[in-house]
A and B are shown apart, each in its own frame.
Chain A
Amino acid sequence: MHNTNYIIRFTIVMTVVVAFVLALMVSGLKDIHTLNESVYNKKGILSAVSGQLGKDINTLNENEVGEIFSKQIEQRVINTKGEVLSEAQILEATGGTAKKAEDIDLAAESKKAEAEKLLPLYVFTDAKDQKKYNIIYVRGKGLWDEIWGYITLSEDWNTISGQAFDHKGETPGLGAEIKDNKSWYGQYTGKKLYDENGKFVSVSAVKGGVKIPEHQVDAISGATITGNGVNEMLGRGIKYYEAYINKSKSKSNDTLNTK
């Protein structure tokens, strides 16, 4: 019915129109998309201090999120040796894609060797009492795919004062409870990472009842593998920050001693 010439012309016109309209939309919406993504990431980080903020993060609009972030959060990037990196160093280590902690591609960092990992650190100042909290990031593997979390530590770098877990594709009602079930993840608040001798023991989810209240929480029944993933993620992930934690602890000891 239609000859080859017509088919070719039709296809070309169609391709051009489609590609043109879509490219127009993409470039027009690019700014909103980048903004949305950055607000989404910021909300993820702020979820770890939702207790201190006193409100549900999901109710905040983008301006409020931006304001809290600029006024109360200080962003730092550190490496596993405990050194704080400058903006130039961050740019170099990420191939020019990131300047601040929030820009870092955390999925890519998790694949790097330990010595080359970049670790984000967000220091949050509570507006009410000016206390400082340290939000660190850990990442691991759940049952189906990756899981991660922001853990908030008090100034003593020992007590957990907030947490926010997330996942790529855990099962709703089981593994996904690490994100959805407030009574479960809330258990971590108040737990300690180090025992009385200063040894790092982390916090683990255990079955059959908590035996050591300072360092254990109840596991999610039916989500053993995700639970194991969380335990492993905390144990390994927090250790990456150890060099920095030790430095910070000795610095605060020095200031105490000189007083």
Chain B
Amino acid sequence: MGDLINIFVKSAFIENMALSYFLGMCSFLAVSKSVKTALGLGVAVVFVLGLTIPMNWLIDYYLLGEAGFFKMDLTFLRFIIFISTIAALVQLVEMVVEKFSPSLYNSLGIFLPLITVNCAILGGSLFMITKEYNFLQSVSYGLGGGVGWALAIVAIAGIREKMTYSQIPAPLRGLGMAFLLTGIMGMAFMGLMGIDPAAFK
């Protein structure tokens, strides 16, 4: 259990997907203009990462690997299969959310389908493979990664909101400033490098 908490803390803070690996940058930079929309996207990412990473783990182990159903090394199909499950899962999540909580669906709006092409989602699955996690560890990694990404985007949105009335040189306004902010936050997160969550027991 402690191992799972370690992985959660590691993927949420120390190896933050947005600020340490800079995954999911496109939507990160484009959607972080207001805290409200950032929060909506963040919650959606937690959902999707927490579901797709374990799902892809199962598929990779039981179908694509040599220990799986087909007894052949089908790992060259990994990209195609992973992205398809992500697309299918996002579609499913969209339908479920629409049915059971129309208000949440309306507030998430366009962001849900956009998540399919968020590099953090596919990147999370691919990193899970290279890190050779087992099933439970992949669940922890997915949720931790999502929470970390959500925290990062909400934090940047907060800063950008506060900066709307600052005197920024015209060519740097908007996107340029977002890049600078993300870089500085990234440097701040580097300070967390090397913290071993297991040491806090």
Contacts and interface: CB of A to CB of B under 8 A. Distances in A.
Interface of A: 18-19, 22-23, 26, 143-145, 168, 171, 224-225
Contacts, number: 15
Interface residues of B, number: 8
Contacts of B130: 168
Contacts of B193: 143, 171
Interface of B: 15, 76-77, 80, 130-131, 193-194
B194 A22 contact: no
Nearest to B73: A26
A26 B80 CA distance: 15
A19 B194 contact: no
Interface of chain A, main secondary structure? helix
A19 B70 CA distance: 14
Contacts of A19: 77
7 contacts: A18-B80, A19-B77, A23-B76, A143-B194, A144-B15, A224-B194, A225-B194
A19 B130 CA distance: 24
Nearest to B132: A107
A21 to B, nearest CB: 11
The 9 A-B pairs of least Cβ separation, nearest first, read A26-B76, A225-B194, A143-B194, A22-B76, A22-B77, A18-B80, A143-B193, A19-B77, A171-B193
Contacts of B80: 18, 22
Contacts of B131: 145
Nearest to B130: A168
A168 B130 CA distance: 10
A18 B80 CA distance: 10
A168 B76 CA distance: 21
Contacts of B77: 19, 22
A225 B76 CA distance: 35
